[in-house]
Structure formats: structure tokens, C-alpha cells
A and B are shown apart, each in its own frame.
Chain A
Amino acid sequence: MTLFSLARKNIKGNFNNYFVYFVTLVFSMVIYYTFTSLQYSEKIQESIELSDTMSFMFGVSSIILILFVAIFILYSNSFFTRKRKKEVGLYAILGLRKKTIAKMLFYENLVIGIIALVIGIILGTLLSKLFAMILIKLMGSITDVDFGISFLAITQTVIVFMVIILFTSVQGYRLIYRFKLIELFYAEKKGEQIPKVSLISAVIGVLLLVVSYWLILKPFPDEFTTEYLIKNYGIAFVALFIGTHLFFRSVTVYLLRLSQRNKSRYYRGTRIIETSRLLFRIRGNARTFTVIALLSSATICFLGATYSGYYSNEKRTEEVVPFSYSHLSKGPEFDSQVESIIKADHRHPIKAQLDIPVIQVKGILSFQLDYDINPVQLISESTFNKAANALNKDETVSLSRNKAAVIQPRFTEYTKSVFKGENITIQLPQESSKLPFVHMVESNVLPFDYPDFFLVVSNEMFAEIAKKEAPLTYKVYEVENEVTAQATSKKVNKLVGNDFQVSSSFYTEYKQGKEGNAITLFIFGFLGLVFLAATGSIIYFKQLTEANEAKGHYEILRKIGVSRKDIRKSIKKQSLFVFGLPLTVGILHSCVTLYFTSNFMSNLIGINLIVPILTAIVFFVIIYAVYYVLTVNTYNRIVNK
């Protein structure tokens, strides 16, 4: 019998043990292949307008993915080797030379890896089409996805995974040299001991968590520097990391111990069994819990934040480009040309059409404002009211002769109080006039163009200034169903050119935002899914190993007279704790972080982010729940049959 065939027989005979490891490998490969094949898909790159950003995002994410996949594979490899130490010891006792055993393990690992790689790529090819369709749907493109095989992606996947497989194979080769024979035999017998309560580390754990929350929730200082950013959030992250670990390691032990004190509760029903088992296992689980809590909170954060961006795209666009089309008037001929294009689009009839005369003047504020206000753009009270009405906004202004209202500059957070009691001096060729601020409004009428400082003045005042400084006229149109006006927008953009820093038509801006957000959402969604699946599987594997070790435990309970139903209940409770605890901590962490970022973001875009964040959390909880049910069933099958 050659070594190679011995290795092959081993795999066949030990299929159950290998299976979990094998599935992990295939899963990682499918994910990675799918991701890279999307990255290289020409169809996808063609169909979007932001392909530079996209390939950059994909590049960064694929590095994260490699790291993650490598760690995940190494973890399950060590998990798998631990199970086989005894077998390896047996070979040694039967008289195989160390070198022979080492070679055999090397081949085994290599064979599994290569088979997994082939299957992974085949499955990945099938799945990549599905994911490509999801991405395109998210971006709102109508391109059809072809069913292609990407050779670039295959090569890259093969290279990455061959490196990982070779590494684990070498690990396998070294296994026999790393341990003494006796250690191989007692590998699974390491008894766990009841953890001691350490009040100090429990207190430190809680303190660290409090400190990190406080640092995260602290409002921005007036002066916002990179140093502050690194210091404040760096410390917050480290404190969060250590605090979380101590929380699982000590605080939970302390709490479980505390719950044991109440004897009349503790000595009632199966609670005594569950509590003591959890207590026993907590040390072994603390590290996993920490990793899972932090990973899930990071995933929820990213998902929540990116989904918020995606979700709020329309709102954001409405702010940046208020009307469907806007352009600077360039003579009647030009204007009517634009008008006829827009009128020709019968599927998007015009709801409102107006002229917005704007006077650009130089102005000096009576106070210091860290915003460049010149040239100040003046519009008249009646124009503003008409425009706001056309946009379905219920803001109106009415001003007496020489008063002014400011429109909040976009992407700033100035409040009414900033302008209260202050005034602006408008400088005209021969004279200057002082206008006190009486009001601040938030409805914008023209597309964003820096500096974004608009003043609404009374009609009389506007007419008076217009005599000295000729106004520019902007033509704006609001049409029905502007989010689909692709063809017309294209034509208008071509004709109008760049009047503003952003696009002159709503649709273009909307589409670009949607695509950009869709890509980030997709990438984070994809990574999130991978993290989720990986963390779920880690708990699942851990619980199954535990189930195998706990068989005797539950057999004793059955003999003492615990019914199968009660055992099942007890397993449910324990699994709930094991899944629920890190998830709860993760959600809590992410809520705190998201609370901070959403405050920050909703100031920018002015909408409530509770819906998208809740969606992300619910999505997360549902997938975890699936893992939970799976774990309970398998656990139950192992110990309670």
C-alpha cells in the first residue's frame, strides 16, 4: 500500500471528520471565487459609470476577504487536527516512522484541498451569476448578465488557495514532530475546570466598556484633527476590545456565579444543569465570543451605515439637485431647445416650470463665519416661495423691505442662532446696504455649487438691486417620476454642460449616487454575509464538538430521570445563551457606534436612519436564528437520541 493510497483511504474512512473541514474549504473558495469573478466581469464594469471606484473597492475588499478566509481556514484546520491527534498517535504506536506519517498527513491535506478547490470553483461559477444579478439589480441597471467563466478569477483563486493549502499541509506535516506521543493520545482529555470569580477583572471589564462607549458617544470637539480622531477612537477601540473580552471572561462568570447564589431559584428544575454547564464552558468560549461579538458589531455597523447611504440616496439627491432639470439661461434659442427636449418626453410630463433670477453680489458678514460666502446669491422672496411650492415644500418667507433670510448652506450644520441678530452688508458698485438676518430656511432651489450661500430678499429690494446688477436667470423644470428620466437627462446634460458642480439633472445625480451606494452596499453586504456565515459556523462547530463531549453528561441525566423533552429544552436554553450573548453584545456595540455615526450622517442628509439600521440588525438576527435552530437540532440529535 502506498502512502498516497493510505491517505486516500483515510479520507474515505474518516469522512465525517473531514466533512466539516471540507465544507469550510469549499465555502471559502466559493466566496472568494465569486468575489473575484465579479471584480473581473466586464459586463459589470461596463454597466456602471464609476468603475474606478468600483475596482478600488473590490480590490480592498478582496484583500480583507483573503485575510479573513485564511484565518477561517486555519481555525477550522486546527479544529480538525485536534480531533485527529489520537489517530496520528496510533500510527506512531503501530510503528510507522514519523517521516512517513508526516508525509501522509501532508498528502491528505493536499488532496482534500485540491478536491475542494475544484468543487469550489464550479460552485462559484454558478453562484457568481446570481450575485452579479443582485449587484446589477441594486444599481438599477438593466444590463443582462452573461454566464461566463472568468479565467483571471480562476487563476487568482487557485493561487491564493494553493498558498493556504500548502501552508496547512506543512502544518500537518509538522504535527507529528510538534507533539510527544503521549500528548497526542490525551489531546481530547484535557479537563476543564470551574473558573474562579475575579471581581477585579469583572470590574475592569465593565469600566473599560463604559469608557469606550463614552469616548465613542462624546460629541465632536470644535477642533477636529486627525490626531484627535486617532487618539479618541483608537483608545475607544482598544478599550472596547479588551472590555469585551473581559466581559465574556469575567463578567459573565461573575453574573452566573451570582445567579447560583439564589438557591431557591438555582435548585429548581434544570436550571442547575444549564447554569453549571455554561459556567464550565465559559473560559473556553470567551475568546470566540469576543471575536464574534466584535465581528458582528463591525458587520452590523458597516451594513447599517452603507444601507443608510443607499436608502437615503433619493433624499440626498433632492437636496443637492432640487429640480429635475436646471440650467442657466443662454438666450431664447438655447432655452427653447432645452425646453423642447424636456417637453418631448411624454412619459415624464412637466409639473412645474419656472425662472429663477439670481443676483450675484459681494457681501460682508457682521460676524466671523468659517464659510466662504462670496459671491452671495440673492433671490427674491416671491421666487423662493414659488420654487418651494413647486417642490412641495411648505417653507415660505415673507420679508419686510430691507430684511434678509439665509438659506442654510448645504453640507453645513449652521443653525438659526448663528445668524440671529447679525446682518450682512451688500456691496454694490456705488453704494452698500446693510441687511439684517431675520430668518433661516432649509429649502434649496438650485443645484449645489460652492460657495452655497443664498439670501432671500424682499421683492422690492430685489428689484432695486437688479437695476444696478443684472440678474442671471436659471430655468428649472420639475417633472413627474424624475427617477426614471434617463434618456432625456442624457440629452439635457449634453446640451447644458456644467453649470454646477453637481449634475444639472436630478436623474444623473440620483443614478450616480445609487450606483456608488449600491457597490458599497453590495460589498459590505457580501463581506457581512461571509462574516456572518463564518461566525455562525464557528459557534456551530464549537457546539457540535461540545455535544460530542457531553454525550455522557446527558446520558446520566436521562438515567436520573430527565425526560427527552426537558433535555431538549435545556439544550435550547444553553444554545440561546451561546448564540444570544455575543450577538446581544455585538448589537449593543453597533448601536452605540451607529448612534454616533447616524447623528453625524443625518445632520448631513437630514433624514432618520432608524429604518435602515433596524433592517440591518433584523437581517443579522434572522440569519443567526437559522444557525441557532440548526445547532439545537444537531446538538439534540447527538446527545438525545
Chain B
Amino acid sequence: MNIVVEAKQIKKVYGAKGNIFSALEDIDLTVMEGEFVGIMGPSGAGKSTLLNILATIDDPTTGNIVVDGINLTKMNEEQLSAFRRDKLGFLFQDYNLLDTLTVKENIILPLALAKLNIKELERRADEVADKFGIRDILNKYPYQISGGQKQRTAASRAIISKPSLILADEPTGALDSKSATDLLESLKDLNEQDKATILMVTHDAYAASYCNRVLFIKDGKIFTELVKGKRSRKEFFNKVLDVLSALGGGANDVI
């Protein structure tokens, strides 16, 4: 199996002389193809910083990151943009949909930017719309649909370019429990059936229980790691809760 993400010795330091705050300290992370990895930790632990660095939106102070065989630290801005467009799919808590575009236009945006031909573009749009059950709302605008529908739209956009890696930042954070479960089920299907590689930051233990493996971060360092293995989701959920209570600070976030 291929390695999708290989990050070594990642360090992120904020601030100037005298007033230094390190958000990440020597993080090593490897994600294999077809994995569904969760990253958990209390607020301010550095989860989002890590995700942003992997997403190439932020750059590490030191360290080396290879995604899908490409070394991120050696690319310039334009190459990084192209890389994000072609290799990464994003899912955010606040959906990040463009409200000037219809649902369909939002979904196909990455393909349009990559100047894919129109037939292939339409075919893929239909395919993902079916997958997430949003066919009926394709011509609506974001301000006309519900939060769950928005997040499914965002998920469709994230996978339409068949990215090597899907990065999800608290995707269920703003959803009601029904919509959250729907979304997580969809992500699981995506992972199991299409072998999509997903990296998800969350502080919701329920969401984390859908992953194959969960990394816990505290104060910028990896605290521990849980692998689901043959456990049922329920058992895994309890395990995650145990670690969280050991971690402290995160207890309030449990549903």
C-alpha cells in the first residue's frame, strides 16, 4: 500500500524573539492510502495548525512534508495552488461554499479551474451528486439550503477531482446530529468503497469513532494513538472517550 502523507519533524513557531509560542513540536505523521485518520485534542492543541500545514495553506517553520510523493516544502506559490486544486479535497466546519454560485457550480468549481472538458465535468458532477443525495438541489443557491445539505455539497466538491487526500476540519461542528451522522456515514462509505484517504480533525468523539485510527495531540505534541482494528464503532467510541478524559481539557467537548 502507498504512503499518501509523510510528515517528518514538523515544527511551527509563532511570534518573534522573546515571545515565542510553538504550536507544533516535532510532529511525525504517516498516512497510508485508504486510511481514515482522525486527529483529536483539546482546543489550542495544534490540530488545526497541523491540518493547515498539510493543506499547504500554512507552512511549517521547519520539517519536511511529502504528499503523494511530492515534497511540499520545495514548491512555490503557484505550484502549491495547482497542487491543492489537483491533489487535495477540503471539508470545513463552515462549509466554505461560495454563495454566488449554485450548488452544482460550487461542486464543479475545482474541475472548472482545472479546465477539464465539459462532458467529463458533467458526468462527474452527476456521479458525486448521486453519491451524496443532492441531485434535487443542484440548481439552488447556498442561502436556500440547510446546513446538512451545505456540508454534503462541500463534501461533493472535496471529492469531485478525485484527490489523493481529503482534509476535513471539524466537518460536523455546525451540524445537527442527524446530518452529522449522515455525513459521517457518507465519508465512511467513501473510505471503504472508493478507498479514499481521509484526514479529519475533530473534537467530537462520536465523529472520531468513524475513523480507522485516531491521533491525539496535546500542546503541540502527539500524545497517543488509537487504532480501531477489529473493534466495533461503539467500543472504539468508548476507547476514544477514555483517552480524552486522560488527556483532560477535552472532556467538555464530548457529546
Contact = CB atoms under 8 A, between A and B. Distances in A.
Q: Do A and B bind each other?
A: yes
Interface of A: 191, 193-194, 263-264, 267-273, 276-277, 279-280, 553, 556-566
Given A264-B118, A561-B86, A562-B81, A269 B113 contact: yes
Contacts of A280: 99-100
Given A263-B122, A273-B101, A559-B55, 12 more contacts: A191-B99, A193-B141, A194-B100, A267-B118, A268-B112, A269-B112, A276-B105, A277-B100, A553-B98, A559-B84, A560-B113, A561-B82
Interface hub of B81, B92, B96, B118 (most chain A Cβ within 10 A): B81
B239 interface: no
Interface hub of B57, B83, B88, B99 (most chain A Cβ within 10 A): B99
A272 B101 contact: yes
B42 to A, nearest CB: 25
Interface hub of A191, A264, A272, A279 (most chain B Cβ within 10 A): A272
A17 B13 CA distance: 33
Contacts of A565: 78
Which 4 residue pairs of A and B lie closest in terms of their CB atoms, listed nearest first? A561-B85, A563-B81, A561-B84, A264-B118
Nearest to A263: B118
Contacts, number: 82
Majority secondary structure, A binding face? helix
B98 A561 contact: no
A563 B96 contact: no
Given A267-B108, A272-B105, A273-B98, A561 B143 contact: no
A202 to B, nearest CB: 21
Interface of B: 55, 57, 77-78, 80-86, 88, 90, 92, 96-101, 105, 108-113, 115, 117-118, 121-122, 141, 143, 157
B101 A276 contact: yes
A271 B113 CA distance: 9
B109 A560 contact: yes
Nearest to A550: B100
A279 B101 CA distance: 10
Contacts of A277: 100
Contact of A560 (B77, B85, B100): B85
Contacts of B96: 556, 559
Contacts of A560: 84-85, 90, 109-110, 113, 157
Given A272-B101, A276-B100, A563 B78 contact: yes
Given A267-B121, A553-B100, A563 B112 contact: no
Nearest to A264: B118
Contacts of A273: 98, 100-101, 109
25 contacts: A194-B141, A263-B122, A264-B118, A267-B111, A267-B118, A269-B113, A270-B113, A272-B105, A273-B98, A273-B100, A273-B109, A276-B101, A276-B105, A277-B100, A279-B100, A558-B57, A561-B82, A561-B85, A561-B86, A561-B110, A563-B78, A563-B80, A563-B81, A563-B82, A564-B77
Contacts of B99: 191, 280
Contact of B112 (A193, A272, A279, A564): A272
A213 B64 CA distance: 67
Contact of A556 (B77, B98, B105): B98
A268 B109 CA distance: 9
A272 B109 contact: yes
Contacts of B111: 267
Nearest to B55: A559
A193 B109 contact: no
B77 A563 contact: yes
A331 to B, nearest CB: 88
Nearest to B141: A194
B113 A561 contact: yes
Contacts of A556: 96-98
B81 A561 contact: yes
Contacts of B157: 560
A561 B112 contact: no
A380 B96 CA distance: 90
Nearest to A260: B105
Contact of B90 (A268, A559, A562): A559
A334 B96 CA distance: 94
A564 B115 contact: no
Contacts of A564: 77-78, 81
A631 to B, nearest CB: 19
A584 B223 CA distance: 63
B91 to A, nearest CB: 11
Contacts of A264: 117-118
A280 B88 CA distance: 28
Contacts of B110: 560-561
A569 to B, nearest CB: 12
